[in-house]
Amino acid sequence: MAVRPKSPDYVIFFAIIGLLGFGIVMVYSSSAVSAYVNYNDSYYFLKRQMIWATLGLLAMLFTMNVDYHAWRTLAKPAMLVTLVLLVLVLIPGLGKVVNGARRWLGFGSLYLQPSEIAKLAMVLFTANSLAKSQDKISSFTKGVVPQLTMLLVVFGLILKEPDLGTALVIGGTVFILLFAAGAKLSHLGSLGALGVAGIIGAILVEPYRLKRLLAFSDPWADPLNSGYHIIQSLYAIGSGGLFGVGLGRSREKFLYLPEPHTDFIFAILGEELGFIGTVTVIILFFLLAWRGYKIAISAPDIFGSLLAGGITSIIVLQALMNIAVVTASMPVTGIPLPFISFGGSALIFTLAGVGILLNISRYINLK
């Protein structure tokens, strides 16, 4: 007898609505100045973010009402399409270059970021693959290597854009899924050591990454170049104090802090809304993490468990990395804050993933 779906988890639902609310307000507040200077329209980014948020919520409502088991049949096709898009974006003339990175496909004002699709596709593919090979997970060659092979291909293509931050988020999520599926700790330890060595190598072969690492250790050694982002971000957060300088009254957004509406929007949030505002956002992410992992633990089958854990991990790791960068807790790497930073592909596909998570929650009893 088929299980009748229940109501979705409202803690996650309202946490997402709260984060989206913060995002829309902060995108407008942080981008109004640069939007007016560059486009003669203070509402330029706000109007686009409202459109993306609406499309994302529609995607979330759709996936929330589709039985999550149905996505298993799309795991391989979705991964294949993702690989094709990740290759196409690297081809000169097809991939759009912004700030030295080739990460977008599209035309006119409509652009798609394949790496955002890769996050959800990789979680779906890995969850399905691990669910099928549960009896082989203790074997390194039969249980771990197949996941590692696909990860290395995706990681390499995204790193080529270059986008180390997104590659690390995907790699970390696959590592978590391997652990959740029951891979041996000795295998995971070896992979972890190789991963750290690979990250160090990726930093050393690219001069700009090495400069960012050195700037992280002492941003004031080069305050007008490699340390500039970190210093301005800390100025913004430090200026906010407990309650902030007031919504819309940021000084750093007046073309001092680069990327104030994308990668460094959390710094503007801290400046305008203070410690209270930043902690509120962190609590909302904590609620999402708590309920998301609880859904993963309580899911009725291994596929649902891994899928829920993967979707939650993608969001949580990205949020942790963004906040760590903005607060100078790790070297600068370009990665947006989920639901809050300006962006179309990221918002739509992340909300679609949340919809799948909410659908899984409809088949379990949460207290």
pLDDT digits (tens, 9 = 90+) for 264-314: 999 999 999 999 999 999 999 999 999 999 999 999 999 999 999 999 999
Which pTM does this prediction carry?
0.94
Instruction: Give pLDDT tens digits for 85-95.
Output: 999 999 888 88
pLDDT confidence band for 3 (50 / 70 / 90):
low
Query: Does position 321 have pLDDT exceeding 50, yes or no?
Result: yes
Instruction: Give pLDDT tens digits for 188-207.
Output: 888 888 888 887 787 777 77
Q: How high does pLDDT run on average in the chain?
A: 91
- Nearest C-alpha neighbor of 234 from the set 141, 327, 156: 327
For residues 215-238, average pLDDT = 85
d(CA 26, CA 248): 9
Instruction: Give pLDDT tens digits for 117-168.
Output: 999 999 999 999 999 988 888 888 888 888 899 999 999 999 998 888 999 9
**What pLDDT, on the 0 to 100 scale, is given for residue 1?**
37
Give yes or no for a contact between 259 and 16, defined as CB atoms under 8 angstroms apart: no
d(CA 214, CA 206): 13
Q: Please report, for residues 130, 150, 222, the alpha-carbon distance to residue 189 in angstroms, rounded to integers and kept in the order given.
A: 19, 19, 36
Q: Which amino acid makes up residue 333? A: T
